[in-house]
């Protein structure tokens, strides 16, 4: 009995999942050590949102970073949007709105990192002149 020839796999017939868009690939890794209780809560909340725990944590990070007006604008994959205005452009366009965003972010930042002292760049405090 002669076996039928199997067709060669071409780009159209690779089998399996189609290749991903290279622009949406996430090539970097972030590894966190967390307490098992935190991991359980993250898993539970990710399940509620019907997403993987990794994607859920990525969404949290993107959400927090998007609130800081100093950061560039990201798309849903974490790529910087080159067409979006820079922080300096947004500040010049509407300084009052920019300051309101800074004030709102400062409150959020203080609630997340309540005990981190503010570090001023060298030369910004009178004590730096004595050194």
Instruction: Identify the helix (H) or strand (E) that includes residue 37.
Output: helix 36-48
Rounded to whole angstroms, how far apart are CA atoms 59 and 67?
A: 12
In a domain, 126, yes or no: no
Highest mean pLDDT among 5-9, 10-14, 75-79: 75-79
In a domain, 61, yes or no: yes
Which domain does 66 fall in, by range?
32-114
> Which pLDDT value is given to residue 77?
83
Q: Report whether 15 contacts 9 (CB < 8 A).
A: yes
Rounded to whole angstroms, how far apart are CA atoms 9 and 12?
A: 8
**Residue reference for tokens 């622009």:** 23
Using pLDDT thresholds of 50, 70 and 90, give the confidence band for residue 60: very high
Please give the tally of structural domains in the chain.
1
In a domain, 6, yes or no: no
Q: What are the tens digits of pLDDT across the range 67-122? A: 999 999 988 888 898 899 888 898 899 999 999 998 888 888 888 877 756 666 66
In a domain, 128, yes or no: no
């Amino acid at each position: 009995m002669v076996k039928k020839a199997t067709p060669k796999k071409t780009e159209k017939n690779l089998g399996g999942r189609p290749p991903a868009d290279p622009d949406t690939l996430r090539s970097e890794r972030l590894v966190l050590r967390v307490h098992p209780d935190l991991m359980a809560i993250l898993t539970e909340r990710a399940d509620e949102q019907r997403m993987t725990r990794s994607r859920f944590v990525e969404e949290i990070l993107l959400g927090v970073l998007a609130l800081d007006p100093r950061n560039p604008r990201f798309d849903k994959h974490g790529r910087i949007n080159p067409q979006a205005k820079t922080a300096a452009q947004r500040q010049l366009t509407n300084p009052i709105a920019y300051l309101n965003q800074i004030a709102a972010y400062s409150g959020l930042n203080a609630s997340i990192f309540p005990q981190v002292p503010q570090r001023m760049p060298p030369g910004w405090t009178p004590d730096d002149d004595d050194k």
